[in-house]
Chains A and B, each alone.
Chain A
Amino acid sequence: MIGEWLDVGPVGQIAPGDARTLPVRGGEEIAIFHTLDNRFYALVNKCPHKQGPLSQGIVHGSVVTCPLHNWNISLKTGEALGDDKGCVPTIPLKVDAGRIYLLREAVVGRQVA
């Protein structure tokens, strides 16, 4: 992925199985997930169904279950799984030397007018 990366801090800030949020002023809040098998993903923190805060859902495998109505959202693709239809934007993320980086243009390019 070419582009500038935004350093959002060390991996240790997010416990396995947890998610933390990153509000973007004038933009969409981002949720960063740390799965139990030690992978990191970032999604816009809004379920495609009723905009539930995905960061508050239960993380299992590479899936988060929305806390509002139990939609299962793939952390890899942002797509709703099973019979539900919908997709939430994913934010390219990389982990380098113990720090989490998000693709800057994906973070700030999502500004709401």
Chain B
Amino acid sequence: MNAPMTFDTTGRDGKGAGGVRERLVVIGNGMAGCRAVEEILARDCSRYAITIFGAEPRVNYNRIMLSPVLAGEKQFDDIVINGADWYADNAITLVAGDPVMAIDRATRTVTTRAGRIEPYDRLLIATGSEPFIIPVPGKDLAGVVTFRDLDDVEKMLAAAGKGGSAVVIGGGLLGLEAAHGLSLRGMRVTVVHLMPTLMERQLDEAAGYLLKAELERRGQTIVTGGDTAEILGRDGAVAGVRLKDGREFPADIVVMAAGIRPATGLARTAGLDVERGIVVDDHMVTSDPAIMAVGECVQHRGICYGLVAPLWEMCRALAEAATDAPGGGYEGSVTSTKLKVSGIDLFSAGDFSGGDGVEDIVMRDAARGIYKRVVVRENRLIGAVLYGDTADGGWYFDLLKKGEDIAAIREALIFGQAFASGGALSHPNAAVAALSDDAEICGCNGVTKGRIVATIQAGAHALDAVRSQCKASASCGSCTGLVESLLALTLGSAVEAGPRTLCKCTSFTHGDVRRLILGKQLKAIPQVMQELHWSTPDGCATCRPALNYYLLCAWPGEYVDDQQSRFVNERLHANIQKDGTYSVVPRMWGGLTTPAELRAIADAAEKYGARTVKVTGGQRIDLFGIRKEDLPAIWGDLNAAGMVSGHAYGKALRTVKTCVGSEWCRFGTQDSTGLGVTIERMTWGSWMPHKFKIAVSGCPRNCAEATIKDFGVVCVDSGYELHVGGNGGIKVRATDLLCKVATEQEALDVCAAFIQLYREDAWYLERTAPWIERVGLDYVKSALFSDPDAVPSLAARFHYSQQFMQEDPWARRAAGEDAALHQHLAEVRPLALEVAR
């Protein structure tokens, strides 16, 4: 125990020279007590003779900065609020290290542990809160510490100095800060948290998850849903913690950080009204008019605060009352929280529990670990959770406290102050023009308006160039609109077109959306739209099919294809024609067919009245003029002859065109037909960003026209040249040579890997040719060949996905699935004026 210390530098007896001062005794030398004294002195420095009793043998310091002290980021001297000179200058008697043990309201005195009796005219109780010790066996073992004051920090530092393991019970603010400090000090740290989500009072599940993942990445063990059964001991000292589910964690020190509760013992014994905290009115006066209370020990309007921020307002109200100054009293606080763990930016304020009439606006960038959520009710911000980027925390908190109507800035709200408060949505350029040069545009990368403009003036005339040269909007992308405005303002019409957003429903580009689907584990279209802040309730004809594809590609076997997001051709597995009928193309593997297949096709053509039968450019046969209602039947007939859908209607693998190759051709170098069939068997059924055509030519004469296909194989004597990115469409583009391989198996592997890279990387409705021109052949080569594992792992993902894709859609429809798609609802016969079934 520390010896009591008296910092009585005045030598006075509590009576001022100018007359009798009222005696103000303050119990508690913490942040609340001293702040209250400061506020009183600021209003009337001669009214009171002040004595402060502190339980800790030291001057007043900033308790919330103990975490950085534990973490080694600050020294005690750095966190002292009022040093000894403050007490001296203000003629305050500080009795530190000798706590008050009793209040006698009848005689208006307090008595300390050392027996000192101090009379008061006004008493201020600022005892704060005390750690809640969970009542488990072993809680009194040596090595079980709390995290409340500098003594606790010193105990933790002493333990950390020996290394070993620490268990922190409680994954709230305090517990995580303790864990962080101990971890930085070299201990192996396990956090045991009772609830499923860390900091569940401040964070929602999503932010809690990000936090947990980050802490685990830093080497901490985070046990959520962990209920402590017992603290295990050895020779009277702590040895570990056992949970109710039987798990045990070794520990050389256990930090109890399961919560705090108001320190009300003195007040309760003195007979003051105490519920959870010491009950005070709006002027912080207790049930005894001579006794005030402030800080974490009080209960105001039913609320106890465990945070520092409400102190400031409380102390203002208290000081006004204590000096008879006019003032409105304390009306309660809306609190916010910031976690003081270096490198983790986390902010939370207000209410985010949901409920009727409550709307969430969410923006996430899981790739950068950013999650922002603001909660709105009746056009007022009522809560905010920010993870990863807390720059706008203060602004949100301000909106929340003021209860301002945010209707006008609602759409931009989630992007933060820089974007929203300029009225950027309605007049983007005007608002951006009005910003000062040092206004920060890109919060992620700390880029100011001035720097962006300078970058543009130096030659970055497109969004991409700005992003790559000064990093503005290169991270989360939420300031993209602002950067575009700056481009327009700086260059006028000279702006070069940049990446387009996916569609008008979103401010995200295709690339953003793809990245976020993966990063945020988005698995359904409505979820994407919600999480990515779609501006329309259910998207449009542009984004729905794109999202459906992106989800299908991201979550094979898991995502359920949304038929309502498919273009008609893919929904009906046939090509709609200008008269509303359909064309049907059965698959012919590698362009091979048989007399039996041809006979079945001929029969089907006659049976269902195909008015035109045409050989396609992809070496198969197209039957035109089939009615929607007849599709399942014609498919059934074609299935019966062994044929399946040719996917001639889909953003999918279309055909693998072949020449006859070495089996017949006198120039043939390899079995191009056989390889074509093998490739088609491997790749059929796969959904792609756009249609995908393959060809295999048996020699460099290239009869299969492989060099204008998405993937082309040209066989040569020594192996196979693999070509990519060709197109015979509106703009003819010859392929680029990707690589040359020696064996058929290598050709197949590269084919699968290239397709998967295209599937994962390209934008929806982007053929391989524009994709490669956009990303560059070098990018494709590097993605495939710079890492020897790339081709196998891409190919493995492709094959995995194919398990779920290679099911003939015609067969299911022919068997009766989705029959309603092909049938009329009913038919109206006007003569009878009845509905017939």
Interface residues of A (CB under 8 A from B): 6-9, 13-18, 20-27, 30, 32, 36-37, 50-53, 56-61, 63, 65, 67-68, 70, 72, 104, 107-108, 111
Contacts and interface: CB of A to CB of B under 8 A. Distances in A.
A60 B544 contact: yes
The 10 residue pairs across chains A and B that have the minimum distance between CB atoms: A17-B564, A65-B541, A20-B825, A56-B568, A67-B568, A58-B541, A36-B538, A24-B828, A108-B830, A53-B580
A101 B740 CA distance: 65
A67 to B, nearest CB: 4
Contacts of B828: 6, 22-25, 27, 30, 107-108
B820 interface: yes
30 contacts: A6-B828, A9-B826, A13-B825, A15-B564, A15-B820, A17-B538, A17-B564, A18-B563, A18-B564, A20-B823, A21-B825, A23-B828, A25-B829, A30-B828, A32-B825, A36-B564, A50-B578, A52-B576, A56-B568, A56-B576, A58-B540, A58-B544, A58-B566, A58-B567, A60-B539, A60-B541, A60-B544, A61-B537, A67-B567, A70-B541
A60 B540 contact: yes
- Residue from B569, B826, B828, B833 whose CB has the most chain A CB atoms within 10 Å: B828
A14 B823 CA distance: 11
Contact of A57 (B536, B568, B572, B830): B568
B632 to A, nearest CB: 16
B524 to A, nearest CB: 13
A61 B829 contact: no
Contacts of B833: 6, 104, 108
Interface in B303-325: none
A50 B568 CA distance: 16
A10 B173 CA distance: 55
Contact of B826 (A8, A61, A68, A70): A8
Contacts of A7: 835
Given A56-B572, A58-B564, A14 B825 contact: yes
B824 A20 contact: yes
B827 A25 contact: yes
Contact of A52 (B536, B540, B580, B820): B580
A23 B564 contact: no
Contacts of B569: 67
Contact of B541 (A9, A13, A51, A57): A57
B827 A22 contact: yes
B312 to A, nearest CB: 47
A111 to B, nearest CB: 6
Interface string B565-590: 11111011000101010000000000
Given A9-B835, A58-B540, A108-B833, 7 more contacts: A20-B820, A22-B827, A37-B537, A56-B576, A58-B564, A61-B536, A108-B830
Contacts of A25: 827-831
A60 B830 contact: no
B388 interface: no
B820 to A, nearest CB: 7
Interface in B552-571: 563-569, 571
A109 B536 CA distance: 36
B422 interface: no
B625 to A, nearest CB: 15
- Residue from B541, B565, B823 whose CB has the most chain A CB atoms within 10 Å: B541
A52 to B, nearest CB: 7
A15 B565 CA distance: 13
B378 to A, nearest CB: 21
A52 B574 CA distance: 15
Interface string B536-550: 111111001100000
Contacts of A61: 536-538, 540
- Residue from B537, B540, B564, B833 whose CB has the most chain A CB atoms within 10 Å: B564
Contacts of B831: 25
Contacts of A17: 538, 564-565
Contacts of B825: 8-9, 13-14, 20-22, 32
Nearest to B540: A60
A85 B359 CA distance: 37
Contacts of A52: 576, 578, 580
B584 to A, nearest CB: 16
Contacts of A104: 833
A86 B568 CA distance: 22
A107 B572 CA distance: 27
A63 B541 CA distance: 9
A15 B820 CA distance: 9
Interface in B797-834: 820, 823-831, 833
A57 B823 CA distance: 16
B7 to A, nearest CB: 70
A68 B544 contact: no
B577 to A, nearest CB: 9
A17 to B, nearest CB: 3
- Residue from A7, A22, A51 whose CB has the most chain B CB atoms within 10 Å: A22
Nearest to A51: B580
Contacts of B576: 52-53, 56, 67-68
Interface string B684-705: 0000000000000000000000
- Residue from B540, B572, B825, B830 whose CB has the most chain A CB atoms within 10 Å: B825
B541 to A, nearest CB: 3
A72 B90 CA distance: 76
Contacts of B536: 60-61
A58 B545 contact: yes
A19 B22 CA distance: 83
A6 B835 contact: yes
A51 B576 CA distance: 13
A73 B58 CA distance: 76
B824 A23 contact: yes
Contacts of B545: 58
